[in-house]
Chains A and B, each alone.
Chain A
């Protein structure tokens, strides 16, 4: 089976006036369908940048990024948008909820943009997701009436609501307590099983990494070491020390 994400020697430069920041310096990764890739790395190492390339929010400066078999650099603005809407669910590092809409509407938004479900179906899908992330009491709340963790859960629900093939998450459990964090991971597993979705999370959370089928490490815009499958011993050690 062909990889759902295939990155070939991708670089990304940010130009700030005369200064050029090389956020990514030649990254190659293949992610097969149904995998759970975890991207680790210190702050500023390029995790978010890599996710934007995979998430079709941006295109690489050089190299190629293929998502669902399509070279993102060759797609039009419309096609990229449509790919984002229908294939990808993105959980932003700072959640990016629409402030003027309540929780329900925020989660429903991608479905409304898709225009494929009836109101009833939408409502069912949204509410069941909200239940899973434990926000049933906050359905009609606005984002600014929620805590950071609650907002993050809304963002997660919004990313999952279209049942995307590819779920990208930028530090999805950073603000969550361990129980909710575990809930998210369970939900991921379930979706992975039912929809055969692929997950790519950037994270510092060893527990998240422990669930990953593949972990890449970024350092200074490059893969720090070879692709590893499953958690390394030291990481497992980290997990146990985190638990302690």
Chain B
């Protein structure tokens, strides 16, 4: 044993001295190995952290630990993705009460939240329609009370507003006509505009307001293109159970959907992103870019685009300005811009030309001086949103839902992934999805009684609907199937009376009835595979077609992101190490060839081949260990530093992956071990071939003269 240690000592000594003697080679080889170790530590630590953060994001925002849906479904459930209009084909589970009982019979299951996911297009905020509607209402009221001076004032002001709108629109048409080919603008539009802007049109307005209003509504309003399609993805759920299970949920504006009430909650992200005025949104985004991310508009492609687009959005503000607001804006903007310009449109155009120098001041001015006079959101909290969605069988179903407020998930406020999902009560969801609710059934039987329609089973009705929508009008779909055009006509600000009749529902409707899927939260998240198996077994036992999937699977592509990144990392590491292997191998072969005489001498003196082999492998191992440890330590230090400082999310997408604005990576002993292990293996493997060459060096080489 002592002999062995001594031999090892001399092997080590020769090895070390050799490493030192060929410093640059050692440094190159060591550098590569150290870099590899550094990369492995950093990469695996970051990935683990992202993995953990993402699981928090996904589990905490909608998926839960496990998602359960019907095993008879044609498609896989995807609770995060699926931004397309075609919702995945998920077969409904008929009775949530039963499902819940079965799920809770599995020991590891702690909470069950019923769900259904779908999406709908909602047309929102046509300012022109709204202004015309207001004017029409005032005209109506005036008819009833012709001498009301307040109404006369309102009438004058609203008429002015509409006239302003017409002049804005006609300006646009004129501009478009100049910019584009004359033929691109329909001659009809131009003549319509001419008529509506003419002084005679407005002079005659008072004489026959309805006739003029009709003309404006039918011919002018369609030319205003400020109306926006909102594509809303929503989850229908038991709002209370949802809030309790996903405790990162916070109400940002307004309030939660009250128990037993129908209602809609915008995700704050969707609300800001889709429902806010574009100018205000641009101010927000640039402000965020400059203040939170420390960027500059100039040179940043994103911010430059936003600033440029903002400069073209004056129209959206103009359409909101009636006469007094126009005056107000003119005065304020003239003073602010120190301009003698009297055209508000031009003043706004100038004001909205944003750059790094003027941004702070204009942002402040916009929110302090202009925003109070503007409707910043096209849908206000408290409004009733008319959602028209395609049911499973393809016809259109609508529901009027009060917008109670907005919500966000803590830490994921700015994540488009977590923010894509809006919330509504499960009862409304079922209606929109084409399921019967008790309320609806009552309503239908009343309608049926009135119209004397024959009883039609749902399945038959749907079959009929495919054949002839007209003929099946009184089908159980309740609200008569609309055509797509009206389906998209959208938001109603006056629908509160209509909505009130169906605003409440019986409590048991949430706890029983049809669902599409359910989120399951567990006590011990380390036992997911077992729990998934147990759930499916319980489903079989209770005769329910339950399919359970982990949150990763439920989150579709996003859930696979971490796996994908891991594959990418490992491919990168593999490539780096293959390259390292080749380089190290070459360097060592070269070193070996330079040492042929020394090796031959050792052999001639009486060193066995395995002595030479162990010497070279030891050399590589020392390099691997020393530089591997150095790289690992460096990587660990960086991870610790980042863990302390946090890595800021470069953009909103990263918020989701980071589960917040910053990622705080943590170091795990396992990753250090993996890094060192890989590095050692690579350095040993890369020394095999040179060691083989060295081993074959003949003692005869000792006899060669030195030159």
Q: Which of A130-180 contact B (CB under 8 A)?
A: 158
Partner of B606, one of A48, A82, A108, A116: A82
Query: Is A182 in contact with chain B by the CB < 8 A criterion?
Result: no
Partner of B602, one of A57, A58, A77, A98: A98
The answer to whether residues A115 and B6 also contact, given A81-B607, A99-B21, A110-B606 and a CB cut-off of 8 A, is: yes
Kindly provide the distance from the CB of B116 to the nearest chain A CB, expressed in whole angstroms.
76
0/1 string, A14-34, CB within 8 A of B gives 1:
000000000000000000000
When C-beta atoms are compared, the residue in chain B nearest to A115 turns out to be B3
Alpha-carbon distance between A97 and B14 when the two chains are bound, in angstroms: 12
Query: Is A94 in contact with chain B by the CB < 8 A criterion?
Result: yes
Output the residue of B3, B9, B13, B604 with the most chain A CB within 10 A.
B604
Kindly provide the distance from the CB of A107 to the nearest chain B CB, expressed in whole angstroms.
11
Alpha-carbon distance between A99 and B703 when the two chains are bound, in angstroms: 16
0/1 string, B604-625, CB within 8 A of A gives 1:
1111110100000000000000
Query: Is B644 in contact with chain A by the CB < 8 A criterion?
Result: no
B18 A100 Cβ-Cβ under 8 A: yes
Kindly provide the distance from the CB of A68 to the nearest chain B CB, expressed in whole angstroms.
14
Query: Is B7 in contact with chain A by the CB < 8 A criterion?
Result: yes
A112 B10 Cβ-Cβ under 8 A: yes
Alpha-carbon distance between A77 and B13 when the two chains are bound, in angstroms: 25
Query: Is B699 in contact with chain A by the CB < 8 A criterion?
Result: yes
List, in ascending order, chain B residues with CB within 8 A of A94's CB. 705-706
Kindly provide the distance from the CB of A181 to the nearest chain B CB, expressed in whole angstroms.
22
List, in ascending order, chain B residues with CB within 8 A of A81's CB. 603, 606-609, 699
List, in ascending order, chain B residues with CB within 8 A of A119's CB. 2, 6
When C-beta atoms are compared, the residue in chain B nearest to A100 turns out to be B17
List, in ascending order, chain B residues with CB within 8 A of A239's CB. none
Query: Is B601 in contact with chain A by the CB < 8 A criterion?
Result: yes
When C-beta atoms are compared, the residue in chain B nearest to A108 turns out to be B10
B702 A96 Cβ-Cβ under 8 A: yes
List, in ascending order, chain B residues with CB within 8 A of A100's CB. 13-14, 17-18, 20-21
B705 A84 Cβ-Cβ under 8 A: no
B17 A101 Cβ-Cβ under 8 A: yes
Query: Is A219 in contact with chain B by the CB < 8 A criterion?
Result: no
Query: Is B4 in contact with chain A by the CB < 8 A criterion?
Result: yes
Residue total for A at the interface (Cβ-Cβ under 8 A): 35
List, in ascending order, chain B residues with CB within 8 A of A77's CB. 609
B699 A84 Cβ-Cβ under 8 A: yes
Alpha-carbon distance between A96 and B598 when the two chains are bound, in angstroms: 7
A57 B699 Cβ-Cβ under 8 A: yes
B607 A113 Cβ-Cβ under 8 A: yes
Partner of A55, one of B21, B602, B604: B604
Kindly provide the distance from the CB of A82 to the nearest chain B CB, expressed in whole angstroms.
7
Query: Is A185 in contact with chain B by the CB < 8 A criterion?
Result: no
Query: Is B597 in contact with chain A by the CB < 8 A criterion?
Result: yes
Q: Which residues of A contact B (CB under 8 A)?
A: 48, 52, 55, 57-58, 77-78, 81-82, 84-86, 90, 92-94, 96-101, 105, 108-110, 112-116, 118-119, 122, 158
28 cross-chain CB contacts under 8 A: A52-B703, A57-B604, A57-B702, A77-B609, A78-B608, A81-B606, A81-B608, A82-B606, A82-B608, A86-B606, A90-B605, A92-B601, A92-B703, A93-B705, A94-B705, A96-B604, A96-B702, A98-B598, A98-B601, A99-B21, A100-B14, A100-B17, A100-B20, A101-B17, A105-B10, A110-B605, A112-B10, A114-B606
